[in-house]
């Protein structure tokens, strides 16, 4: 008004999933564009876990795929929709983090979920042999890898059966990591539920 000039604003509807949840949130917190706060693999997994009814809409909104190709994907039904989810995750990750990170994330997901292998592309936390020998509890582990924020949250996850080491459910809230939990390469896979995974590595 002071300069007698016209101003323009741009707004857009709040993006919601088909279940009514706001876009940009996960069970462990916000989805960040910065790789320092949200790894390329986590970003890939965020899109890979898209609800079935949202896949085609998100392919149109968050990828640069031709509409003709997206139309072909829209005909997929049942378990086949997972292929469209993989494409969504790959293309969205490629746009933000580049093709190399997209390929690495796709490879990691394939190894982890199909073959049960560990991969260096997963989120990881390094500990010393001294820390392990002094007693490194599962409650601590779940917090250092970012799956939980408090001891109480860690205990609830364990109590509810969501905490796993190398795909084995741990129900003991007082469990402490032992040397035989680790592979010959000094790694142990930590999981919270079916979709969140990380590595603890002995330096």
Q: Residue 156: give its domain's CATH number.
A: 3.10.290.10
30 and 102 housed in the same domain: yes
Domain count of the chain?
A: 2
Higher local confidence (pLDDT), 121 or 12: 12
CA proximity to 50, closest of 21, 75, 13, 14: 21
Whichever domain contains 43, its CATH number is 1.10.240.10
Q: Is 6 inside a domain boundary?
A: no
- Count Cβ atoms below 10 Å from residue 143 Cβ, excluding itself: 17
CA distance 53 to 58: 10
Tell whether 16 is covered by a domain. no
State the Cα–Cα distance between residues 3 and 22, nearest whole angstrom.
Answer: 38
Contacts of 11 (CB under 8 A, 6+ apart): none
Residue 199's DSSP bridge partners are 124, 189
Per mean pLDDT, which of 45-54, 153-162, 188-197 is the most reliable?
A: 153-162
Residues 108 and 78 in one domain: yes
The rounded mean pLDDT for the chain is 86
pLDDT in tens, 63-103: 999 999 999 999 998 878 889 999 999 999 999 999 999 99
Q: Which pLDDT band, with edges at 50, 70 and 90, does 114 fall under?
A: low
pLDDT at 181: 84
In a domain, 14, yes or no: no
Same domain, 142 and 78: no
pTM (whole model) above 0.95: no
Residue 8 in any domain: the answer is no
In this structure, is residue 15 part of a structural domain?
no
Judge whether residue 183 has pLDDT over 90.
no
Structural domain span for residue 164: 123-202
In a domain, 5, yes or no: no
């Amino acid at each position: 008004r002071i300069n007698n000039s016209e101003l323009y604003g741009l707004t857009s509807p709040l993006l919601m999933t088909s279940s009514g949840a706001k876009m940009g949130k996960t069970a462990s917190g916000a989805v960040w564009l910065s790789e320092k706060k949200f790894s390329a693999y986590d970003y890939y997994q965020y899109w890979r876990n898209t609800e079935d009814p949202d896949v085609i809409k998100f392919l149109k909104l968050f990828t640069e795929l031709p509409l003709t190709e997206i139309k072909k994907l829209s005909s997929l039904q049942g378990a086949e929709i997972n292929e469209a989810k993989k494409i969504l995750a790959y293309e969205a990750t490629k746009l933000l983090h580049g093709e190399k990170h997209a390929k690495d994330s796709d490879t990691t997901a394939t190894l982890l979920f199909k073959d049960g292998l560990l991969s260096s592309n997963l989120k990881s936390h390094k500990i010393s042999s001294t820390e392990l020998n002094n007693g490194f509890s599962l409650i601590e582990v779940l917090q250092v890898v970012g799956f939980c924020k408090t001891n109480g949250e860690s205990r609830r996850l364990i109590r509810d059966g969501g905490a796993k080491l190398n795909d084995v459910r741990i129900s003991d809230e007082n469990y402490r990591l032992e040397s035989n939990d680790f592979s010959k390469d000094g790694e142990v896979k930590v999981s919270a539920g079916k979709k969140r995974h990380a590595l603890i590595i002995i330096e």
